[in-house]
Copies of this chain bind each other. A is one copy, B any other.
C-alpha cells in the first residue's frame, strides 16, 4: 500500500488513460494527476521519455521509484498492491481471471485497433492537415462495423451476458467501453442499431459514474451533434 505517492500520467483523449482514470477514481485509490497533452506531443518530449515512460505513450504510473506503462499491466499491479473489489479482476478465481485476461489481450489488435484506425483516418489525420482517403475510410468503417457486431453478437451474446465475462462488471468492460466511446468523436455512433451494446455501455457508465462522465467530458464535447452525449462541464485544465 503506497497510495499517497501514486502518480498517473494521462490524457483524457487517450482511451486507456480514461479507463485507468475511472478505475482509480471509482476505487478510491488516491493518485496525483499528471496530465500529458498529446496535442502538444508532450509524451514524446525527451524529459517524459527519460523520466516517465520510455515508450513515449500515455498512460503511465509512477509509484515512488517504480515506473509502469501499459494500462493492462498497471491494473493488474494495482489489484495486487491496493484494496480493489474482487469483481474488477478476481485474483481468487482462476477461470474468471483467465477470461478477463483473454479479452484484455484480444482487444489490442481487434476492438482497440478497429476504433483507433477509423479515428485516426477520419478525425486525427485531417486535423493534422492530411486529406482523408475515402476508400481507406470506407474499408476501416466496415472493419469497425464488423468488430462491433462481433462484440455485440458473440462477446455479449446479444444481451444474454450483461457484461463481457458474465454478470459482473470487470476491467475488461471498462477498457472496452472507453475504447468504443472514442468512435463518437469521429462521428460514428457505436450504439446505432446495436441495442445490446447500448445497454451494456449504459451499464458500464452507470456503475462507474460520476467518474465515467468526468473522464469522457472531452469525448462528449467533441462528438458531433447528431450523436447524443451527456452534458458535462469542461472547466479544468487537464
A selection of 25 A-B contacts at a CB cut-off of 8 Å is A55-B106, A55-B110, A66-B95, A66-B98, A68-B99, A69-B102, A69-B106, A70-B102, A70-B105, A72-B101, A73-B101, A73-B102, A73-B104, A76-B98, A76-B101, A77-B94, A77-B97, A77-B98, A80-B94, A81-B94, A105-B105, A105-B108, A108-B108, A109-B112, A109-B113
CA of A108 to CA of B112 in the docked complex: distance in angstroms? 11
Interface digits, A76-91 against B, CB 8 Å rule (1 contact, 0 not)? 1100110000000000
Assess the A154–B101 pair: CB atoms within 8 A: no
By beta carbon, the residue of chain B nearest A81 is B94
A157 to chain B, nearest CB (A): 10
Bound: A110/B76 CA distance, A: 21
Interface membership of A54, Cβ < 8 A: yes
Residues of chain B within 8 A of A66, CB atoms compared: 95, 98
Tell whether, in the assembled complex, residue A101 and residue B70 are in contact, meaning their CB atoms are under 8 Å apart: yes
User: How far, in whole Å, are A106 and B104 apart by their CA atoms in the complex?
Assistant: 12
Beta-carbon contact of A105 and B73 below 8 Å: yes
Known A-B contacts A54-B154, A94-B77, A94-B81; the reply to A105 vs B72 at CB < 8 A is yes
Apart from A55-B106, A73-B104, A109-B112, what are 10 other A-B pairs with CB-CB below 8 Å?
A: A66-B98, A68-B98, A68-B102, A70-B105, A71-B105, A73-B102, A76-B98, A77-B94, A77-B97, A108-B108
- Interface size (A, Cβ < 8 Å)? 30
B contact residues around A106 at 8 Å (CB): 55, 69-70
Chain B residues contacting A55 (CB-CB under 8 Å) are 106, 110
CB distance from A147 to the nearest CB of B (A): 11
Give A32 Cβ to nearest chain B Cβ, in Å: 19
A74 to B106: give the CA distance in the assembly, Å.
12
For the complex, what is the distance from the CA of A71 to the CA of B99, rounded to whole Å? 12
